[in-house]
Structure 1
Amino acid sequence: MNKMDSSQTTVTPPIAEKRPQVLELHGDKRIDNYFWMRDHQDPKTIAYLEAENAYTQAKIQHTEAFQQQLYEEMLSRIKETDLSVPYRKDEYYYYSRTEEGKAYPIYCRQKGSLDAPEEVLLDQNELAQGHDFFSIGVLQVSPNHQILAYSVDTTGSERYTLFFLDLNTRQLYPESISDTYFSLAWANDNQTVFYTKLDDANRPFQLFRHTLATDVNEDILIYHEPDDIYYLAVGKTRSQAYILLSLGSKITSEVHYLDANNPTGKFQLFHPRSTGVEYDIDHHNDYFYIVTNEQAINFKLMKTPVNSPSKENWQTVIPHREDVMLSGISLFANHLVIYERKDGLPIGRVQNLKTGEEHNITFPEPTYSFFEGSNPEFDTTTLRIHYTSLITPPSVFDYDMETNERELKKETEVLGGYDRTQYNSEKLMAPAPDGTQIPISIVYKKGIKKDGKNPLYLTGYGAYGASYPASFSSTRLSLLDRGIVFAIAHVRGGGEMGRKWYEDGKFLHKKNTFTDFIACAEYLISEGWTTSNKLAISGGSAGGLLMGAVVNMRPDLFKVVVADVPFVDVVTTILDTSLPLSAMEWEEWGNPNDKVYYDYMKSYSPYDNVEAKDYPDMLITAGLNDARVKYWEPAKWTAKLRELKTDDNILLLKTNMGAGHSGASGRYESLKELAFEYAFVLDRLGVEKRPGIRDRD
């Protein structure tokens, strides 16, 4: 094939100015030549980002037609005018719908039945007019269904402004509340709301009580959390009986509760925080149920009387198990739903609270993802669940908790004649250096041979105990149909194999995450799935840290790397407690003020370990308004790579100058960003433009 070669475009890459800054801790002096990029008020900072964007555009210009082809291809699979499955709450059926040509959802409801006239609650497209970025945070209707609380972010900074809309008059209440987070709870009086405010580091740290149609300056501060490592959230039990104030760090939690019928009452402490002990509570009739890891690394379930909830009255419902992790529970009037993980897969059980009888929610595929859908009603026997796999489009089921029967309400339609029987998904196990078996979820088009000639796209995350879902993506078909094998490395640091899996990939075990990923790549090569010169890898945020670490450790192993909003300047960022990824992150990565952690973190921090050597083709992305991973981390990393790398491979930095951590808002702009990344990867792998043809040997 005549491969699209970006070298045809001769452009000089930007060279960032060096301004050496000495950073010293524990007697160790680090020289940071690009520390100055943190100042976005410095004209040279924006000039550098814009120069990198211009360079990226010039180097990728030859793929513009291919990008458009990919965009149209991916868009053509999406049913642009579509409807979500309505869920019932009291007399109303709530749902969202999309319309062709409109970038955002329209939120609606019908009263009494699905044959009733539609009422539009909120048209996000109208609100987004005039904004390059638009995101909805809170979207909650009052208990009497007459008032809508919603919040918006127009920059990508994740600082939301809260509004209240009278659904009868369609008039906004006069007040709005700025600098809120996406956490809110209505009291049962339909006039009182509890909301959270952000501090300067974007940490939700205060809980306020607001009465509708009153001056927000008169709102009552209910709780202030002074400890920088704790985040604050507010919610409500499905029973509607209690409002819950939840406080949590990475390893410790604390809950306060309030009678939802008495919003001016005082929140009661459920159980005081104890370092390393996590718990959540929910309510059912005369009991609180508690999911906790106290003396139970994989969590256990307890319950205690509402009128005497102190620790001495806690009773065991589900004991701790070494081979099963209790992920959470869901309580209904007559049923308890239990969510667990076993052997790397999510599983579910339903228990009848009257008879004690149980049954499992089972699924047929070797690797999949399922989670609870919208279930606002307490007194119901129907459980709404969502299911998907690498080859099964997102599917919504109503599950009868009495009969163990499920009804498919909707499977997301994939236009263009998608046939799942043309694809295979498997679960593989790769041996890590210490002998641990690392799960890999893999999907490919039938007919692929394990001859070492397939291009392969490998991704992973491995942080915060988050499990990387094995879920369907219609956009991914643009890879699979071109003969690319897609794989997910479920590395340690995630939660796929239980809590210990997470513990074994954090703190002073963090390097397991990186060596696990490398082991997965080596295994896929050794088994004939691909070869290093056809291997692309990708990860975002903490997954971007994973990309940065493995590309420093084994740059020879990969052909192409995509690092989206990567957390790569680990030591400097976590030392700065004015940033969101700082004090709270000490319980994930370690506190670098402790020399043991400082030395360990510095030994893998991607920015600190860039060396004068060859690196693969790389695409790095950033968001100027990113509140989670500041733009300067990918920018500094790119500048240092340019300074030191010894190869002629392509290195691109693409900064979205009007968005944050999640990139562009709106489905069309998001697709364009993905088409850009796919075009880069396919170009560098030398894969044919047309689907259905593998690159010639």
Structure 2
Amino acid sequence: MMKKSLAITVAAVLLSACGDKAAEKPAPVVTDTAVEEKASEQVATKLVYPETRQGDVVDEYFGVKVADPYRWLEDDRSEETGAWVKAQNKVTFDYLEQIPYRAQLKQRLQELWNYEKVGVPYTEGEYQYFYKNDGLQNQYVLYRKDADGNEEVFLDPNTFSEDGTTSLSQVSFSKDGSLAAYSISEGGSDWRKIIIIDTKTGKQLGDTLVDVKFSGISWFNNEGFYYSSYDKPEGSELSAKTDQHKLYYHQLGKPQSEDALIFGGTDEQKRRYVSGEVTEDGRYLFIYGAVSTSGNDLYMKDLSKPDSELVTVLDHTDSDTSLLHSDGDTLYFVTNLDAANKKVVTVDAKSPTSENWKDLIAETDNVLAPTVGGGYIFAEYMVDAISKVMQYDMTGKLVREVSLPGVGSSSSLSGKTDETTLYYSFNNYTTPSTIYSFDVNSGKSDVYMASKAKVNSDDFVSKQIFYTSKDGTKVPMIISHMKALKLDGSNPTILYGYGGFNISLTPSFSVANAVWMEQGGIYAVANLRGGGEYGKKWHIAGTQLQKQNVFDDFISAGEYLISENYTSSDYLAIRGGSNGGLLVGAVMTQRPDLVKVALPAVGVLDMLRYHTFTAGAGWAYDYGTSEQSEEMFNYLKGYSPTHNVKDGVSYPATMVTTADHDDRVVPAHSFKFAAELQAKQAGDAPTLIRIETNAGHGAGTPVSKSIEQYADIFGFTLYNMGVKSLN
């Protein structure tokens, strides 16, 4: 639910806004001949990069020796690495400063970004809570409103640090709303601190919990809560491997050192990811365990009986199964066990194992993501990555299809059982988000809050097409641009993709992309295999020994855009982050001729060693590992971006982006890839790395940093396509 995690809320708000005012066009840049000549010269001049020392490290896999000359860059604490980062950033920012319209892009981003953004409200205790940003605040502020409509700030993370880099990660309230526990991230790290407060007075209760990672916060009455973490690793906390996740119970009034270990403390219970969830009525605790990012086992404990034993619900990790709801002894689960697109089942808590499950909402041809609120189940389906929502009662009887405002993405309809009004947001690539109230009894939606974004949706067009990949698979892609744009093959185009971890890319509005499209740009998003748009089969088709399907899908998307005259290779850029950074790195090394610009962000780029850092071993379900088998090693080595940069090849203009506090995909991936590119690039196109300081994988990034990043990314892209001035 959005209220559980600020990261989700902020993403939804940042990428969505609504309004009916015409977009203000930026004034064109006036460039004289000298400036234009300097721009042309800069594009054509081969840069002098900092010297990157090559070491003599060699690894051996199945009798094959693999050199790793930049292994020393994995040490994020060394002075040498720090000096390298500083030197690389100087080259990069010196280059970016030569772009004549970089400041104009930043100014336009600030203009469009500067409007009040409000998140979907939710109720806790006597208050309605919601996130809001006045415009350019670095972090979203959590507000609350009482029954009389009086509004006040509840938590303002902009006061947590002077530079805005300490962010609010999530907030969890006790059942009656009188207590709250919230987690913060410092510098973008995945390591968190948890602070407990009295919601009436704001006074902190007890000590701050530290060294918490990949954790929810689930309250048991007003007595305490469950959370998860790893033992602090030896070596760098930002890169050292974390392998055994544990679930703890924190009793209010006691020090963290006395927190009870609930699960994960033995070899029999060893899991890379563990989480705990207390049911709304406070009766049951459910524990999820996983060894990878897909599949979990499941346990439950009756909290009404202090000495009750853990009961095994699922003793294997062959499915993704989670609790949807509980009503007394009746449990509702959502699962893809024997249902690739997921279904809802019920079972008696006295005998909860899978052989006793009964289908309540059967699997369909579309992927199901159900939620519960107001005493109903809301079954959201993805139909070609577009939202469709059906309302069911708790017996599984269809009540109605929820009438959505259009074609796009709806946030989840969810809330407490006794609520009769729920809230959701709706948006797509060209329509900023509007918040709607929904009456669970009548099914009526009303506009609760329209966005104040300074864009006019009628100026844009967004079209879904289906193209054919290399092996004949049909893949959807949504292409967005200004309506007046002429499709003559010369339009700057960003092709975005992800293709992994069962994650779906659904339509969402972005102020940054609106600025891109204002400049005559096209924004295209391909729903590649490896994602979750068509269920488990679609996911599996892009994993391990089938990972090349993802790259082929992306390449085919680019070829489609060129063949249909949207753009050409001279005006095509590819962009993606994290697993999407791997996608960009693989495609630019396999088909350097296809694109003009490559923008891999916080990418997984060393496929032979990714599993040796932080929680990377948990990604093996999607990737496999170099130690798994000789076949898997050869396959990974065959596409690993860092290992496939070749001498004598002209690579696209590339700006790798990462952050020094990224402990999800450690920056060493990006460091080593950039070093390889700089050493082997045969052409004159720049191969730069932009390293954000005091920032992490992306969540909680201050607005000011986001604006600067987009200005640099768009500026770099347009500049290297030969664009001399803006519209």
Q: Please, what TM-score do these two structures have when normalized by structure 2?
A: 0.88
The 1:298–1:222 alpha-carbon spacing in structure 2 relative to 1, beyond 3 Å, is same
Distance apart, 1:7 and its partner CA: 4.5
Residues 592-628 of structure 1 show CA distances to partners (whole Å, capped at 9, x for unaligned) of: 2211111111111111111121101000012111111
The 1:674–1:24 alpha-carbon spacing in structure 2 relative to 1, beyond 3 Å, is same
Give the secondary-structure state (helix, strand or coil) at the position aligned to 1:505.
Answer: coil
Among candidates 371, 378, 382, match of residue 341 of structure 1:
382
Show the counterpart of 1:421.
458
Stretch deviating more after TM superposition (148-157 or 51-60): 148-157
Show the counterpart of 1:378.
417
Give the secondary-structure state (helix, strand or coil) at the position aligned to 2:695.
Answer: coil
Equivalence map 1:502-517=2 (5 Å) = 502-517=539-554
**Contact (CA 8 Å) 1:183, 1:235: kept in 2 or not?**
no
Stretch deviating more after TM superposition (547-556 or 337-346): 337-346
Show the counterpart of 1:673.
709
Does residue 87 of structure 2 align to residue 46 of structure 1?
no
Which amino acid in 1 is paired with 2:504? S
Structure 1 Cα separation of the partners of residues 271 and 548 of structure 2: 23
Residues 381-414 of structure 1 show CA distances to partners (whole Å, capped at 9, x for unaligned) of: 3332221111110122222233222112123221
The 1:408–1:303 alpha-carbon spacing in structure 2 relative to 1, beyond 3 Å, is same
Does residue 162 of structure 2 align to residue 125 of structure 1?
no
Stretch deviating more after TM superposition (3-12 or 195-204): 3-12
Distance apart, 1:119 and its partner CA: 3.9
Stretch deviating more after TM superposition (504-513 or 638-647): 638-647
Which amino acid in 1 is paired with 2:155? L
Show the counterpart of 1:305.
348
Residues 337-377 of structure 1 show CA distances to partners (whole Å, capped at 9, x for unaligned) of: 112223333322111236823322344655x222215x432
Distance apart, 1:202 and its partner CA: 4.7
Stretch deviating more after TM superposition (286-295 or 252-261): 252-261
Which amino acid in 1 is paired with 2:279? T
Structure 2 Cα separation of the partners of residues 100 and 457 of structure 1: 26
Distance apart, 1:663 and its partner CA: 7.3
The 1:371–1:195 alpha-carbon spacing in structure 2 relative to 1, beyond 3 Å, is same
Show the counterpart of 1:320.
363
Which amino acid in 1 is paired with 2:461? N
Show the counterpart of 2:4.
none
Give the secondary-structure state (helix, strand or coil) at the position aligned to 2:622.
Answer: helix
Does residue 504 of structure 2 align to residue 467 of structure 1?
yes
Q: CA RMSD in A?
A: 2.4
Distance apart, 1:260 and its partner CA: 5.5
Which amino acid in 1 is paired with 2:156? D
Give the secondary-structure state (helix, strand or coil) at the position aligned to 1:288.
Answer: strand
Which amino acid in 1 is paired with 2:171? L
Show the counterpart of 2:597.
560
Structure 2 Cα separation of the partners of residues 619 and 357 of structure 1: 50
Among candidates 58, 61, 65, match of residue 94 of structure 2:
58
Give the secondary-structure state (helix, strand or coil) at the position aligned to 1:591.
Answer: coil
Distance apart, 1:510 and its partner CA: 0.3
The 1:287–1:407 alpha-carbon spacing in structure 2 relative to 1, beyond 3 Å, is same
Give the secondary-structure state (helix, strand or coil) at the position aligned to 1:637.
Answer: helix
Does residue 615 of structure 2 align to residue 588 of structure 1?
no
**Contact (CA 8 Å) 1:390, 1:443: kept in 2 or not?**
yes
Does residue 130 of structure 2 align to residue 95 of structure 1?
yes
Structure 1 Cα separation of the partners of residues 725 and 307 of structure 2: 64
Show the counterpart of 2:70.
34
Give the secondary-structure state (helix, strand or coil) at the position aligned to 1:77.
Answer: helix
Give the secondary-structure state (helix, strand or coil) at the position aligned to 2:616.
Answer: coil
Structure 2 Cα separation of the partners of residues 532 and 634 of structure 1: 24
Equivalence map 1:656-695=2 (5 Å) = 656-662=692-698, 665-691=701-727
Does residue 697 of structure 2 align to residue 642 of structure 1?
no
Distance apart, 1:460 and its partner CA: 0.4
**Contact (CA 8 Å) 1:345, 1:496: kept in 2 or not?**
no
**Contact (CA 8 Å) 1:400, 1:406: kept in 2 or not?**
yes
Among candidates 218, 226, 230, match of residue 194 of structure 1:
226
Does residue 472 of structure 2 align to residue 435 of structure 1?
yes
Give the secondary-structure state (helix, strand or coil) at the position aligned to 1:55.
Answer: helix
Structure 2 Cα separation of the partners of residues 355 and 162 of structure 1: 38
**Contact (CA 8 Å) 1:556, 1:616: kept in 2 or not?**
yes
Among candidates 436, 444, 452, match of residue 405 of structure 1:
444
Residues 456-513 of structure 1 show CA distances to partners (whole Å, capped at 9, x for unaligned) of: 1111000101011221112212211111111001111111122211111111110000
Stretch deviating more after TM superposition (283-292 or 512-521): 283-292
Does residue 641 of structure 2 align to residue 606 of structure 1?
yes
Does residue 391 of structure 2 align to residue 350 of structure 1?
yes
Structure 1 Cα separation of the partners of residues 543 and 139 of structure 2: 37
Equivalence map 1:453-602=2 (5 Å) = 453-574=490-611, 576=612, 578-582=613-617, 584-593=618-627, 594-602=629-637
Residues 434-467 of structure 1 show CA distances to partners (whole Å, capped at 9, x for unaligned) of: 1111111111111222222222111100010101
Mark the runs of 5 or more structure 2 residues left unpaired by the alignment.
1-30, 234-240
Which amino acid in 1 is paired with 2:653? D
Distance apart, 1:589 and its partner CA: 0.8
Show the counterpart of 1:211.
251
The 1:333–1:449 alpha-carbon spacing in structure 2 relative to 1, beyond 3 Å, is closer
Which amino acid in 2 is paired with 1:588? D
Show the counterpart of 2:188.
156
Which amino acid in 1 is paired with 2:526? A
Residues 640-670 of structure 1 show CA distances to partners (whole Å, capped at 9, x for unaligned) of: 1111121111111111232111177221222
The 1:266–1:70 alpha-carbon spacing in structure 2 relative to 1, beyond 3 Å, is farther
Distance apart, 1:300 and its partner CA: 2.4
Residues 53-104 of structure 1 show CA distances to partners (whole Å, capped at 9, x for unaligned) of: 11111112112x6232222211212344454453333421112333456322
The 1:483–1:267 alpha-carbon spacing in structure 2 relative to 1, beyond 3 Å, is farther
Which amino acid in 2 is paired with 1:672? E
Distance apart, 1:266 and its partner CA: 4.2
The 1:544–1:406 alpha-carbon spacing in structure 2 relative to 1, beyond 3 Å, is same
Structure 2 Cα separation of the partners of residues 532 and 10 of structure 1: 21
Structure 2 Cα separation of the partners of residues 283 and 386 of structure 1: 22
The 1:11–1:514 alpha-carbon spacing in structure 2 relative to 1, beyond 3 Å, is closer
Show the counterpart of 1:695.
none
Distance apart, 1:19 and its partner CA: 0.7
Mark the runs of 5 or more structure 1 residues left unpaired by the alignment.
692-697
Does residue 693 of structure 2 align to residue 652 of structure 1?
no
Equivalence map 1:202-351=2 (5 Å) = 202=242, 205-224=245-264, 226=267, 230-248=272-290, 249-259=292-302, 264-266=306-308, 268-285=310-327, 286-321=329-364, 323-326=365-368, 328-332=369-373, 334-351=375-392
Which amino acid in 2 is paired with 1:316? D
**Contact (CA 8 Å) 1:90, 1:377: kept in 2 or not?**
no
Percentage identity across paired residues of the two chains: 27
**Contact (CA 8 Å) 1:143, 1:186: kept in 2 or not?**
no
Matched residues, number? 677
**Contact (CA 8 Å) 2:228, 2:248: kept in 1 or not?**
yes
The 1:242–1:384 alpha-carbon spacing in structure 2 relative to 1, beyond 3 Å, is farther
Give the secondary-structure state (helix, strand or coil) at the position aligned to 1:183.
Answer: coil
Stretch deviating more after TM superposition (5-14 or 213-222): 5-14
**Contact (CA 8 Å) 1:53, 1:655: kept in 2 or not?**
yes
**Contact (CA 8 Å) 2:300, 2:313: kept in 1 or not?**
no
Give the secondary-structure state (helix, strand or coil) at the position aligned to 2:411.
Answer: strand
Stretch deviating more after TM superposition (212-221 or 605-614): 212-221
Give the secondary-structure state (helix, strand or coil) at the position aligned to 1:475.
Answer: helix
Which amino acid in 2 is paired with 1:388? N
**Contact (CA 8 Å) 1:299, 1:320: kept in 2 or not?**
yes
Show the counterpart of 1:75.
110
Give the secondary-structure state (helix, strand or coil) at the position aligned to 2:324.
Answer: strand
Which amino acid in 1 is paired with 2:59? L
Structure 1 Cα separation of the partners of residues 148 and 318 of structure 2: 48
Structure 1 Cα separation of the partners of residues 152 and 481 of structure 2: 43
Among candidates 34, 53, 56, match of residue 20 of structure 1:
56
